[in-house]
Structure 1
Amino acid sequence: MSESVYVGMCREMGTPQQVTSRRDIGDMMELLDKQKYDVVRLMRSGSYKEGFRLLERGSDIDTMIWPTDHLVMWDFSQSEYYNIHGQTLILSDSSESPPGFTLLWLPLESAGQGVILSCVEINGKLYISSSKHRENTHIAVPFHPDDTIHGPCSSGTDGPLEYDHAHCFVSDFWPPSATSWIDRCYSWPPPHVVNDIVRNGCHVVAIGHKLGNHEEIEWRISFSQAEYKLVYSMNHTQFLTYGLVKLFLKEIINNGPRTEDKLLCSYHMKTAVFWAIQQNTLPHWCPQNFLVGFWICLKLLLKWVYEGICPNFFIPKNNMFLGKIYGHAQTSLFRRLYGLYEKGIALLLHSPSIRSSIIDVLCNPRLTVCTNEHTLISEAEFDVELFGEINSSNTLYPFDLQSCIYYLHAIEQLIDLPLSHYHVVSLQKHTSSMFQCIAFILHNMYTVTGVNKQMYVADKISCHLLKLTAKFGCVSDMLYLAMYYYKTLRYREALSVIERTKVKLAQPYLMYNERVDRERYNDAVGGQSWSKKRLAVAGDIRFNNEICYISELLPEQQSSIQNRKPLLDLPPFVLLHMLEFLCSRHVNIMIAQTALDNLQVLVHHDQGWLDISWEIPGICQQMAGNLQAALYSYQQSLGQYPFHKIQTATTKRIQDLHF
């Protein structure tokens, strides 16, 4: 039974190889960002960072953001490690706060203008107010106009994704209130993980304790950085146990419609798993003991609810149930949990995600289950996710040369590090993105300001970089070179590139997003290096909306910028036919009409296109003088999910048609 559920969870949560690749690709992005930003730092946290991909079940994307020149100290002696003239030092004062919380005292001589706006004065001292800081950062740095404040975060949605952004402060030192945690780590995590966690300190986030004396100005000590490192140090059985208790919470405990019944949260589940592993109640966390591990976590959770005490993993005196789970609500929750406990492992039949794994064993007790990860997922399935991860994480599209140089320098430094296969293939994609950005930035710069010689040199560099883009990127990245040739009026060269790209995109084994003939893909590139596999992969063509690639799409880029969308993703098949139409108009009008016909057929007969996919045939039809068809395409674009936020441009194009 345990092994069957373990296999079901591998399929649901990911095999060891999948989880490792997700983490490596995400970490590579953070390493590059770390090199670029010197004023603020960003760190992903939460379940997405940990390696889960359960967006439809609430696995959202959490980001912590903090200024690098504001540092929290736990006592004055730590100030000797800093340049007090170049940094704002903040002193923690937890003397009047509940365990796990603190006040932040800002000495007057180090107060910066920005943080002063979030301060309140108490007994002649300036304290940074958590509530004011939340309000000020939410107003000053909104990620989206519809964002709302939820706890310490600005929360919102971007398409199907839910996100939380928490503006916080960092401490380079481990908090004194968590020193007991170091002494407990004799069995787990390993010493090198403990040392790494302690050496990197912690954060404070802008939320106070509801029962504290200073709720509006208190800050919570956050161990998000330590927590993802703990999750990374788990073996795969422990990781899947963590995933199973998350599903248990989402699909069984909190499955009802009433918000007041949802007293437990994912953080309580994570804490239970941490304690269960560290207390060594299960000596061997392996697939054969998978359900035993889950049962240990459930019993620990039951004990905590009965006692009304959930000890924070790092600061046990911080009871995370305090003010939340008590009285009638506590009694009711305990009865519900105990009722589930009495059902035994059959309680998991209430989880849609793993019910089938249990039923398979109940119906066939002699069923032999293989836990070898290579039998759980095919090579093509793994590659679909891998290249999808790389494309979704690849948001490095700067619009100025200085930023590009920063990133290229960072890439150069990272190349010398010991890198995994996933790091390398991810880094190659980021390099490809830098090259194409530089190529178009150079052209745009020297077209406006350059003399002939400068334009000639810039053109040579741009062409060379775009050929490297195609070399390090995937098949569809050849279209950047075709766009550049079109932009520089070299229509025949562009059409030559388009023809070569068309042949490659027509291969029966091509992988695009999740679309792939797995059998043909495995036959064509199975077992080969990632460099070879890139030749069988196509991805969306990504525009930085601050860079002009082709003038025909400038209105869409400007509309997208106005709605806080920095990037525009174009399906390669749609863009290919658009470029063929644009170039052929200057070479052969018959080929141009054929390209337009092919574009119309593509968009009309394929499903799942977004707003931009219908916008492009509309633009081409309008240029060809077919205004009725253009109007239909624009109306279809407005009817799609507004992923790229181009409605302003679409509406303006419709108005132009009427005049």
Structure 2
Amino acid sequence: MSESVFVGLCHIVGTSQQVASIRDAMGITDILTNQVNHSYPRMISGSRGEGFRLDGSDIDIMYWENNKRVIWDLSQIQYYNRNIYTLILCDSSESPPGFSLLQLLITRVRSIRTSLCTIEVTNSISTALFERNNSLFISSSLCRETQRPLFPPGFIPHGPCVSGISSGLEREFAFCFASDFWPPSAASWIDRCHSWPQPNVVCDIIRSGCHFVAIGHKLSNFEDHEWRISFSRAEQILVHSMNHTQFLTYGLLKLILKEVISNGLEEEDKLLCSYHMKTAVFWVIQRNNIPQWCPENLLLCVWNCFKLILKWVYEDVSPNFFIPQNNMFLSRIHGDKQNQLFIRLHALYEKGLISLLHGPSIWPYVLIVLYNPRLSICTDEDNLLFQYVFDSDLFSCTNCKTLIGIETLFHCMKCLRAVEQLMNTPLTPYHVVILQKHTTFIFHEIAFILSNIYINTCRNKMVYIAVRISDRILKLTGKFGCTSDMVYMAMYYYKTMRFVDALLVTEMTKVVQLYKANLLLSTDMYTEAFRGLSLTSKMRIFTNRNIFLNNNVRYINELLPEQQCSRQERQGLMDIPTLVLLYMLEILCYRHVDATKVQTALFFLQQLVQHPQRIFLPERQEDISWQILGICYQVTGNPQSALYAYQQSLSKVPFSKIEKASLLRIQSILQ
């Protein structure tokens, strides 16, 4: 049965190849994004950073100020230039294990007002300070309040994070402070690392230091001011060091928690979280009680982890993996809630392992074995996944949704320099594809930024040079980008009034889109068509379903109100279906080239947007798709149909945050 569940988890969670590709994508995205936002570096943590492709996985992002560092004792001051770094001293003398107060280091303090004149403090700290024992400390609760205005109105506080939808994705952001040193309170963890993890992994973890997130211990006298020590970077390194059976054990525990343990419970009664599951896996691996972590022992591994969690609930003690003195149940699971949780878990324990597998995701793979006890299951990962599924996942996770800080040519140059540096390091095939995709995106931005700088100038020579450079850049992207990336070239040709060239590009892109759709009718056809091709060659033929427009960059005037509205709502990108944008460009170009073909293109766009099965139109893109249909109706002289389309856009879930643009366009029609 373990083998069957292993196969099922490879389909749900991902094979080792899929997991590696996601991790590579997240890692390179972090590197490039930090080149743009050097003052506020960030790290993708949580499920996506660990490599999961579970449905509903959000993106957890930790970010911190690069010119501030936390130190553990005053002797560490010598490692920093005080003209560059603001130093913060960790004071854990009166805090529970795993928590600390953070003291802002200055020479002396007369009052908060006068002290702020002696040091350079950014707004994130200046309004979050409180005075204690003639020293300045940074309050975690006040710091959370200062960060909230940085996010769109729909974002809500959630522990140390703020969460909401940004650029079409569920995201959680956590502001923190970084420390380059390993916490003294976690020194015992180093001594425990005999069998796992390997010495090189231990060294990487120690070098990574830790972070402090803005949340205090609920039972502490300083709850509103304390900061929790976060080992997110260390945990990510540990998860990446797991073999695939260990990783799938963690994934299965997450599914069991969601679909079995917490099934039917109210939100306030869901006491266990995926962090407890991860911690249990860490402890079980390190104790080395399981002879071999392999597909045949998968369920044995899960059962051992479950028994450890049951023991923790019974004893009301869940030791943090790095600081065991930090009992993670102390303020969360106790009294009646603890008893109820133990009864629930013990009932599952008495029914045996099979009771943990009753979730809708895994149960079908259990039934296969129950109905066919002699069935032989192949766990060879090469045979577990259709090639198209793997390719599609890889190319989808290489999208550039996170490179939304690009606004200037300077940002583009910094990103290209980072790409150049990465190209001189050992790269996997996944790294190469991901770098190609990001480079294509950066080149697109360069072309349009150049155009926006010089298009309205009276200096014809500068315009000519900018156009020549942009042309060459866009043609270069056509040699190593996805076919759908040529939509940017079509937009540029339309922007520079080369309508025939734009139509040629849109027609070619549509042909490839339909060719790929036919290949997907049969996995055998896809495999045969792409047999022997490298990932780079496949990516050129691959067509993204979506085009991402950076709201910091002006592409075509017809979409400018929507971009401005989306940007005002602090959305970095507009996510538009490729075919919708292609038909829009055709309609706009045919108005100048061949007016008789406008209605045909408009008919196809209307059928695409109004199709009841939404084959090429996910729900989260309905608002922008109806909006574009309305724009096309309006420019072709059909205000009544345009009015209806804008109203439909307003009635859809506002993922694109363009409601104000819809209202403005409706008002312009009614006037």
Q: Deviations over 1:323-364 (max 9, x none)?
A: 322233222222221111111112124211111111111111
Partner secondary structure for residue 547 of structure 1:
coil
**Does the 8 A contact of 1:381 with 1:518 survive in 2?**
no
Partner secondary structure for residue 289 of structure 1:
helix
CA 1:269–1:41: 2 relative to 1, 3 Å: same
Q: Distance in 2 between matches of 1:111 and 1:581?
A: 54
Higher relative contact order (CA 8 A, sep 6+): 2
Q: Deviations over 1:62-94 (max 9, x none)?
A: 111110111100000001000012211111111
1:399 deviation in Å? 2.3
In structure 2, the residue matched to 1:130 is 140
How does 1:634-649 map onto structure 2 within 5 Å?
634-649=646-661
Partner secondary structure for residue 399 of structure 2:
helix
**Does the 8 A contact of 1:559 with 1:649 survive in 2?**
yes
RMSD (Å), alpha carbons? 1.9
**Does the 8 A contact of 2:36 with 2:405 survive in 1?**
no
Alignment of 1:112 with 2:121, yes or no, is yes
Q: Distance in 1 between matches of 2:167 and 2:355?
A: 34
How does 1:3-402 map onto structure 2 within 5 Å?
3-56=3-56, 59-109=57-107, 112-114=121-123, 115-139=125-149, 141-142=150-151, 144-158=152-166, 161-391=169-399, 393=401, 395-396=403-404, 398-402=406-410
1:493 deviation in Å? 2.3
Moved more, 177-186 or 630-639: 630-639
Amino acid corresponding to residue 69 of structure 1 in structure 2: N
In structure 2, the residue matched to 1:524 is 529
Q: Distance in 1 between matches of 2:202 and 2:512?
A: 49
2:631 aligned to which of 619, 627, 630: 619
1:517 deviation in Å? 4.9
Amino acid corresponding to residue 73 of structure 1 in structure 2: I
Q: Distance in 2 between matches of 1:206 and 1:559?
A: 31
1:497 deviation in Å? 2.5
CA 1:486–1:444: 2 relative to 1, 3 Å: same
Amino acid corresponding to residue 137 of structure 2 in structure 1: Y
**Does the 8 A contact of 1:71 with 1:170 survive in 2?**
yes
Alignment of 1:546 with 2:555, yes or no, is no
Among all aligned residue pairs of Structure 1 and Structure 2, give the percentage whose two residues are the same amino acid.
54
- Consecutive unaligned residues of structure 1, counting only runs of 5 or more, are none
Partner secondary structure for residue 165 of structure 2:
strand
1:409 deviation in Å? 0.9
**Does the 8 A contact of 2:259 with 2:359 survive in 1?**
yes
Q: Distance in 2 between matches of 1:281 and 1:381?
A: 36
Partner secondary structure for residue 642 of structure 1:
coil
Q: Deviations over 1:278-323 (max 9, x none)?
A: 0001021001111110111111111111111111100111111113
Q: Distance in 1 between matches of 2:74 and 2:341?
A: 45
**Does the 8 A contact of 1:397 with 1:437 survive in 2?**
no
Q: Deviations over 1:506-554 (max 9, x none)?
A: 325568xxx7653432232233112221233212222112222111111
Moved more, 337-346 or 454-463: 337-346
TM-score, with length taken from structure 1: 0.95
Q: Deviations over 1:572-593 (max 9, x none)?
A: 2222222222222222211233
CA 1:279–1:387: 2 relative to 1, 3 Å: same
CA 1:159–1:567: 2 relative to 1, 3 Å: closer
Q: Distance in 2 between matches of 1:419 and 1:128?
A: 41
**Does the 8 A contact of 1:394 with 1:430 survive in 2?**
no
Q: Deviations over 1:89-143 (max 9, x none)?
A: 111111111111111111234562531321111111111111111111123x22x
Alignment of 1:576 with 2:576, yes or no, is no
Q: Distance in 2 between matches of 1:369 and 1:589?
A: 61
**Does the 8 A contact of 1:55 with 1:161 survive in 2?**
no
**Does the 8 A contact of 1:510 with 1:537 survive in 2?**
no
**Does the 8 A contact of 2:130 with 2:138 survive in 1?**
yes
Amino acid corresponding to residue 212 of structure 1 in structure 2: S
Q: Distance in 2 between matches of 1:366 and 1:627?
A: 67
Amino acid corresponding to residue 489 of structure 1 in structure 2: M
In structure 2, the residue matched to 1:496 is 504
Moved more, 205-214 or 568-577: 568-577
Q: Distance in 1 between matches of 2:458 and 2:427?
A: 40
Alignment of 1:589 with 2:595, yes or no, is yes
Q: Distance in 2 between matches of 1:521 and 1:647?
A: 40
Q: Distance in 2 between matches of 1:639 and 1:547?
A: 27
Moved more, 648-657 or 200-209: 648-657
In structure 2, the residue matched to 1:537 is 542
- Consecutive unaligned residues of structure 2, counting only runs of 5 or more, are 108-118
Q: Distance in 2 between matches of 1:505 and 1:349?
A: 40
CA 1:321–1:469: 2 relative to 1, 3 Å: same
Partner secondary structure for residue 41 of structure 2:
strand
1:502 deviation in Å? 3.2
**Does the 8 A contact of 1:26 with 1:393 survive in 2?**
no
Amino acid corresponding to residue 112 of structure 1 in structure 2: V
**Does the 8 A contact of 1:4 with 1:361 survive in 2?**
yes
Amino acid corresponding to residue 42 of structure 2 in structure 1: L
Q: Deviations over 1:441-485 (max 9, x none)?
A: 111101233511111111100000111122221112222222212
**Does the 8 A contact of 1:2 with 1:287 survive in 2?**
yes
CA 1:422–1:606: 2 relative to 1, 3 Å: farther
Moved more, 204-213 or 325-334: 325-334
**Does the 8 A contact of 1:29 with 1:393 survive in 2?**
no
Partner secondary structure for residue 310 of structure 1:
coil
Partner secondary structure for residue 579 of structure 2:
helix
1:262 deviation in Å? 1.9
**Does the 8 A contact of 2:101 with 2:227 survive in 1?**
yes
Amino acid corresponding to residue 317 of structure 1 in structure 2: Q
Q: Distance in 1 between matches of 2:399 and 2:42?
A: 19
**Does the 8 A contact of 1:510 with 1:536 survive in 2?**
no
Partner secondary structure for residue 162 of structure 2:
strand
CA 1:556–1:385: 2 relative to 1, 3 Å: same
Partner secondary structure for residue 182 of structure 1:
helix
* Aligned positions, number: 652
TM-score, with length taken from structure 2: 0.94
Moved more, 40-49 or 489-498: 489-498
Q: Deviations over 1:599-641 (max 9, x none)?
A: 2233333643322222222222222212232223222222322
